[in-house]
């Protein structure tokens, strides 16, 4: 293949990317990986289990094979590949919830990226008529998928967090915007001496009860409903904000950080888990997250210098940045 042919093929993969997203979404939404977990099946056998038309499913499966999600084997049957197994509900590092999330409302919002580029209005709000978090509050099924997607891969990241930060001198961890409690559960699981406050909106905290119970840390957690733009629980030794600050513009991010600063116990730390953009525009996967914030919300990813300036304006000093997993870094801040 010539260089020009390779360039054309690469360009076509770029513009046809929406097709792989939607094929992966269909595989995830129908739970096909779960049905194929015990061995190959024909399109007809699969279709009868998930109540779709066999011929149509067969056509989609052949395209899924092209994308490496399944493989076609003798007898017109399909089996999972190692990639496809990651779409299973109980797979280690499962991306099933992420595939569903990205194939539904996120997909529609990204279709209006140009609107955000032209207007600075979140495309999500333009398409669905409500701000992102308000929409999820009104659609519990969307909220549940979002929570599950945000928890995907969390174990690896949070193990790295626990390795990167010394919690031995802490007593109370406040998980600001803690959602279903997955961050606090991992930290408490590693540190039996700690207690935690999970702080989020009331409808979000509903999912935390069962998650924390399953993780055997419920007795060491308090679930506190509230609005982090107004206040956060006081007297914490470590305020953990996992992918919270990037959701918001500087004004609202500053409000959250100032509330943390006002509530902190003496000697406490603010711990941000965020993607950090490179300073000089080097290609970075964090750029993808940055544009996602433009599409969904009014937020953005930031460079280390931008985080330092934001923290300083909130009365905090950026003391350390530690890359911990994939695009995520641990940003430690202390009172000025």
User: Where do the domains of the chain lie?
Assistant: 3-95, 150-335
CB 235 within 8 A of CB 167: no
pLDDT of residue 1: 58
**SS3 (DSSP) at 199:** strand
pLDDT of residue 150: 84
Q: Are strands 269-277 and 328-335 parallel, antiparallel or unpaired?
A: antiparallel
The answer to whether 246 is a known catalytic residue is: yes
Mean pLDDT by 10 residues, the chain (336 residues): 76 92 98 97 98 98 97 97 96 93 97 98 98 95 90 75 90 96 93 97 89 95 98 97 96 98 95 91 83 96 97 98 88 96
Q: What's the predicted TM-score (pTM) here? A: 0.86
- Strand segments (E) across the chain: 41-42, 70-73, 77-80, 172-176, 195-200, 221-225, 238-242, 269-277, 302-303, 316-325, 328-335
150-335 adopts what CATH topology? Rossmann fold (3.40.50)
CB 216 within 8 A of CB 249: no
3-95 adopts what CATH topology? Arc Repressor Mutant, subunit A (1.10.10)
Domains 3-95 and 150-335 share a fold: no
Catalytic site residue from 5, 115, 139, 246: 246
Please state, in angstroms and rounded to a whole number, the distance separating the CA atoms of residues 316 and 301.
19
């Amino acid at each position: 293949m010539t260089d020009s042919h390779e360039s054309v093929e690469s360009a076509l993969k770029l513009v046809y990317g929406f097709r792989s997203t939607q094929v992966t979404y269909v595989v995830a939404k129908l739970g096909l990986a779960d049905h194929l977990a015990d061995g190959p099946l024909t399109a007809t056998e699969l279709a009868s289990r998930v109540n779709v038309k066999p011929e149509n499913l067969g056509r989609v499966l052949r395209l899924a094979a092209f994308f490496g999600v399944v493989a076609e084997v003798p007898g017109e049957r399909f089996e999972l590949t190692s990639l496809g197994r990651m779409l299973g509900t109980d797979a280690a590092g499962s991306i099933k919830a992420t595939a569903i999330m990205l194939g539904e409302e996120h997909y529609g919002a990204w279709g209006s990226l140009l609107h955000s580029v032209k207007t600075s209005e979140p495309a999500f709000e333009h398409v669905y008529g409500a701000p992102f978090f308000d929409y999820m509050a009104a659609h519990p099924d969307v909220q549940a998928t979002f929570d599950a997607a945000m928890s995907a891969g969390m174990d690896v990241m949070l193990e790295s967090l626990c390795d990167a930060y010394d919690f031995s001198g802490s007593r109370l961890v406040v998980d600001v915007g803690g959602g279903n409690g997955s961050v606090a559960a991992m930290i408490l699981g590693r540190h039996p001496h700690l207690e935690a406050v999970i702080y989020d909106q009331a409808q979000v905290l509903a999912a935390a009860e069962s998650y924390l119970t399953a993780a055997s840390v419920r007795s060491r957690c308090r679930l506190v409903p509230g609005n982090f733009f107004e206040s956060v629980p006081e007297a914490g030794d470590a305020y953990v904000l996992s992918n919270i600050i990037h959701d918001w513009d500087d004004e609202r991010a500053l409000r959250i950080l100032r509330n943390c600063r006002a509530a902190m116990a003496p000697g406490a730390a603010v711990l941000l888990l965020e993607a950090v953009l490179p300073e000089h525009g080097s290609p970075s996967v964090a750029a993808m997250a940055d544009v996602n914030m433009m599409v969904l919300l009014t937020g953005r990813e930031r460079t280390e210098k931008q985080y330092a300036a934001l923290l300083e304006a909130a009365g905090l000093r950026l003391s350390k940045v530690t890359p911990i997993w994939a695009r995520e870094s641990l940003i430690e801040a202390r009172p000025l």
